[in-house]
Amino acid sequence: MSGILEGKRVLITGVLMESSIAFHTAKLAQEQGAEIILTAFPRPTLTERIAKKLPKPTKVIELDVTNDEHLGRLADIVGEELGGLDGVVHSIGFAPQDALGGNFLNTPFESVSTAMHVSAFSLKSLTMACLPLMQNGGSVVGLTFDAQYAWPQYDWMGPAKAALEATSRYMARDLGKQNIRCNLISAGPIGSMAAKSIPGFAELASVWDNRAPLEWDLKDPEPAGRGVVALLSDWFPKTTGEIVHVDGGLHAVGA
């Protein structure tokens, strides 16, 4: 029986550690029949080492999503490797340390601007860089952390994720005519490299211990990876502009 991504070609960003959602997305995508290509920044060699743990070998491309030169050459490099694309996974987020950890009211705009550029605007710039390769439509899937709420310690990454969520909706509106779907997975907290960069992450994550209807495991990124793969597949052919929660159900309950 073939996998749900059989014959699909997918670009995946953000594979930094074996514990990351992006790594498990890449692993599951290959297991479900996809050809994949990875991007990495600022340390492609780190991603190349991690990629060796995937079921099949895959190429790693250096890509800084804030660098127009990198974005401008992306389609040529990926096209030469895969011929085209059916899916793009945006698993990129960054905020300077002074934009996190309880410093919300004192963060300078320069740091806020960086967080917005890398974490939200890059969804649009990455997708547009890949657009020439998506002649037959496709699926763009990003990762968010529920921006309905103000989370402890998360600070300016919260507004950045809100901007990401709005960006995905506008992209769904404007790319629908090209049969390109744009959706997000809103995942619960995972003990990834991104999480370790957030001061006081344990306080944020502890909310899940008390409120999530389904038991949540910080060490298990696979459920979120499965959500990404499902949205990349043809099983959601008319779903776009959506945010699918893979968070143990916490978003649905109060205190």
In this prediction, residue 205 carries a pLDDT of 83
- The sheet with strand 60-62 has its strands ordered as 60-62, 35-40, 9-12, 87-90, 138-144, 180-187, 243-246
Mean pLDDT by 10 residues, the chain (255 residues): 93 94 98 98 93 97 97 98 98 95 96 98 98 98 96 94 98 98 96 68 82 93 97 98 97 86
As annotated, the active-site residues are: 154, 161
> Are β-strands 87-90 and 138-144 bridged in parallel, bridged antiparallel, or unpaired?
parallel
Cα(108)–Cα(175) distance, rounded to whole angstroms?
34
In this prediction, residue 203 carries a pLDDT of 78
Q: C-alpha angle with apex 52: 50 to 58, nearest 5 degrees?
A: 100
CB 41 within 8 A of CB 64: yes
In this prediction, residue 2 carries a pLDDT of 84
In this prediction, residue 210 carries a pLDDT of 85
CB 174 within 8 A of CB 216: no
SS3 string, 188-216, reads CCCCCHHHHCCCCHHHHHHHHHHHCCCCC
Give the amino acid at 137.
G
In this prediction, residue 195 carries a pLDDT of 64
Cα(125)–Cα(105) distance, rounded to whole angstroms?
29
In this prediction, residue 202 carries a pLDDT of 78
In this prediction, residue 204 carries a pLDDT of 78
